[in-house]
Amino acid sequence: MKKLISTALSLMLFVSSNAQVIGKTEITQWRDDKKGAVSITFDDGSINQFKQAIPVLNSLKLPATFFIITGQIPGSQYHGKFIGRPVKDIINETATVPTNKDNIFERASAAGYLGLVGPLDYHYKAGSLVDAGKMDEAIKVIDELYLKVRNGEFKPGIQHNVEYADAHGTTWNDIRRYAAQGHEFASHMITHPRLAVLDEPNMIYELEKSKADMLKQMGPKYTFSGEGPFGTENERAMQYAHKVYPALRNRMPEPWLKEISRSDKSNPGNTDKEYIQFQRGGTTKTPMPMMKAWVDTTANKNNTWLVLTFHGVDGIGWEPLTHQQLNEYFSYIKAKQVLWVGTFGDVTRYIRERQNATVQSKQNGDKINVSLTHSLNKSMYYVPLTLKTYVPETWKTVKVTQGNKSQIVKPIGISGKNEKYVLYQAYPNKSAITISRG
Ligand SMILES: [Zn+2]
């Protein structure tokens, strides 16, 4: 008898502790309550990314993000040009005014537009020095360039950078078709410049006019992400770029996001940040086991977003991998079912929406009512969030309704606890969600 009473008591306790949790709703850290996320990104839009890598991605049903150089695509409105006074005036001025930190950006911006073959290389060299914080050396490079220009050491002609040339063959029609297959396309600027050495008018031209062509050809969804070439984190360039693109792979502004850049050798360790963006680049020299280890590291954590960067494919583009290598690697990622593979833009949207969302739930008779809202710009932030709502243990199946859409969901039990919850996708700022016995 005593035993029976204690069993009854403990049952009541269990029921009441379960009752407290019923209706409790949270937004899972990652979509579908996964342990982490992976974004596969490609830079420069070299042609085999589309001809060879996209078929591999599609066969595995994996989405990717492609940062493309918009100026070289036929039909684009904006192409590389120098915004400023006549370049002849700039060349003449260099004979009497040495390069300094105030005029270097104008001179470096004009370098590719002097009608000569060779000076563009100096734009890149000076840009990489400014990116590395070596302004004095960059000034010397630009002085050397204009001395050679004045001495007539370059042949007339038009020079494009390698990335620009490797992207030859892409059309907007093709890109729209790949986007319809679930891939994200995003700006890698008009000409793939070194943003760090552009002056204000040319910086704004590269950022905004590339976005204008993305908008015109692809629509607003594809103006969300961007990548300043060469992974620049130049402070000045980032200030301009963040005003134009809400999500930059170069760098994000969020205090709750720790970023490990591609050049940083460290692995995600302990952190008090909610999320870690772990960037890694796969190049010709990267051993496959190392690339797989990045995925393992991400799967073993709970807060990590692996952002992978690739360039060339099958011989075309910088540091190419073969499509066979990509197939092996992407299959490995796909097999990690604890990871969500989403585009750079969608993962950004998800985590920002989650950070800005309010979820409220109330038990109402035999139903649970849930509302989900966020304060972000609704035209840019529209991805569904995964909600986790605790339901009575007696419910075997659960019906989740939002607006005129209903789905039947099977609850998941928590081992060792008599609690059950359901996972479902919900759209923020839309109709309230009703949860009932299915
Ligand atoms: Zn690039």
Superfamily of domain 37-78+164-348: Glycoside hydrolase/deacetylase (3.20.20.370)
- pLDDT for position 164: 86
**Per-residue H/E/C for 211-240:** HHHHHHHHCHHHHCEECCHHHCCCHHHHHH
Contacts of 272 (CB under 8 A, 6+ apart): none
For strands 433-437 and 398-402, give the pairing. Answer: antiparallel
Q: Residue 302 is which amino acid?
A: N
Kindly give the distance from the C-alpha atom of residue 167 to the centroid of ligand 1, in angstroms, as a whole number. Answer: 11
- The CA distance from 128 to 197, in Å, is 9
Domain with CATH 3.20.20.370 in the chain: 37-78+164-348
Ligand 1: distance of its center to the CA of 185 in Å? 14
Residue 146 in contact with residue 94, Cβ under 8 Å? yes
Give the Cα separation of 122 and 151 in Å (integer): 16
Expressed in angstroms and rounded, the spacing between residue 44 Cα and the centre of ligand 1 is 5
The domain 17-30+357-437 having CATH identifier 1.25.40: the answer here is no
Handedness of CA 85, 90, 92, 96 (dihedral sign): positive
What is the predicted pLDDT for the residue at 140?
98
- CB neighbours of residue 129 within 10 Å: 21
- Listed in sequence order, the residues at least 6 apart from 255 whose beta carbon sits closer than 8 Å to its beta carbon are none
pTM of the model: 0.94
How much is the pLDDT for 7? 41
Q: Cα(373) to centroid of ligand 1, in Å?
A: 37
User: 300 CA distance to ligand 1 centroid (A)?
Assistant: 30
The string of DSSP codes covering 333-351 is: HHH-TTEEE--HHHHHHHH
Range(s) within the chain of domains with CATH label 2.60.40: 17-30+357-437
Tell me the H-state helices in 284-415: 288-299, 323-335, 344-356
Residue 179 is inside which H or E element, if any? Answer: helix 172-180
The CA distance from 194 to 208, in Å, is 15
Q: What is the mean pLDDT of each run of 10 residues along the chain (438 residues)?
A: 42 52 96 98 96 98 98 96 98 98 98 97 98 98 98 95 87 98 98 98 98 98 98 97 98 96 91 96 97 98 97 96 98 98 98 97 93 96 98 95 96 90 97 94
